[in-house]
Amino acid sequence: MHSIFRFLPLFLFVATNVFANVQVYNNGTNKIRVALFLDKGAHPRNHLRNAIEDAPDMILTLIDGEELREGQLSNIDLLLVPGGSAKKESMSMKEEGRLAVRNFVSRGGLYMGICAGCYLLTQARSTDLGLLPLNTLDKAHWQRGKGELPIELTPLGNEIFGTNQKTLEILYHNGPVIDVSHVTSESNFQILGYFRGELVGKGGIRGIMNGTPAMFLGRFGRGLVLGISPHPEAKLSEVNMEISAIRWLYAHRQ
């Protein structure tokens, strides 16, 4: 069994770390261009889609695997990959589309992955994007179930998600349980929130989920990568957490 606590000193960076180096970016439109991945396997929640559409400083575009492969990310600031099935999302992108995403982020693009999109940013499977050197725990029993779990935010998590609440009850539905054993002290990686509870599927391993990262931030090349295992957007009252995160990522883009 992996112990998250022996890796914590690697992530407890102070506020002056690389993520606090604000470089405000302007794409010429004065609006954040958000692409929502919508293809087989992707099941975005309406609360978040509607919130992005209603945000006065954002422009929402729907993008599928074919459009990824055609280079449509060249006119986008942030790619949002929602929940659903990471395997099917990856199949929709195909190898060429996954490479397009990696190139987009490496060159300074922003990536936000929720649940399945969070799985996809790891290197747990050969068909994942591999944006961050992360694996997943107990992947054979990934169907852990659905229910609200307490999430304890870090100070940077409070800043990014725009809330002063230290602990929130957030819906979890089979999101990744992140293994950070491949993260090193040289990695640009920071935990934004921890699971303070767990769900265990039939035959699953007990005791590994509590204390693992629920939300985290990392770098791939010049780009920023935000992973969210649970679903803040499941509640209308919490959807602004992800809207705040989009704005934070955009403001910190290189």
- 56-76 pLDDT tens trace: 999 999 999 999 999 999 999
Distance between CA atoms of residues 85 and 88, nearest Å: 5
Confidence tier at 204 by pLDDT (50, 70, 90): confident
Are the C-beta atoms of residues 115 and 37 closer than 8 Å to each other?
Answer: no
Residue 146 is encoded by which pair of tokens? 């659905």
The percentage of the chain sitting over the pLDDT mark of 70, rounded to a whole number, equals 87
The residue among 211, 119, 25, 233 whose CA lies nearest residue 111 is 119
Handedness of CA 104, 17, 164, 30 (dihedral sign): negative
Assess whether pLDDT exceeds 90 at residue 201: no
Predicted pLDDT at 22 = 37
Res 185: pLDDT: 60
* pLDDT for position 181: 83
CA gap 137, 212 in Å, rounded: 10
d(CA 137, CA 121): 15
What CATH number does residue 232 fall under? 3.40.50.880
The per-residue pLDDT for 26 is 46
SS3 (DSSP) at 84 = strand
Report d(CA 38, CA 158) in Å as an integer.
29
Per-residue pLDDT band at 190 (split at 50, 70, 90): very high
Q: What phi and psi, each to the nearest 5 degrees, are found at residue 140?
A: -70, -20
Work out how many domains the chain is built from and give that number. Answer: 1
Which tokens belong to 145?
Answer: 């179930």
Q: Which domain holds residue 20?
A: 4-251
pLDDT tens column, 124-172: 999 999 999 999 998 888 889 999 999 999 999 999 999 999 999 999 9
The helix/strand/coil state of 69 is helix
Give the pLDDT confidence of 80-128 residue by residue, as tens digits.
999 999 999 999 999 999 999 999 999 999 999 999 999 999 999 999 9
pLDDT band (50, 70, 90) for residue 11 = very low
CA–chain centroid gap for 99, Å, is 18
Give the pLDDT confidence of 26-48 residue by residue, as tens digits.
Answer: 455 689 999 999 999 999 999 99
As a whole number, the mean pLDDT across the chain is: 89
- Residue 5 above 50 pLDDT? no
Q: Is the pLDDT of residue 8 over 80?
A: no
Residue 2: strand, helix, or coil: coil
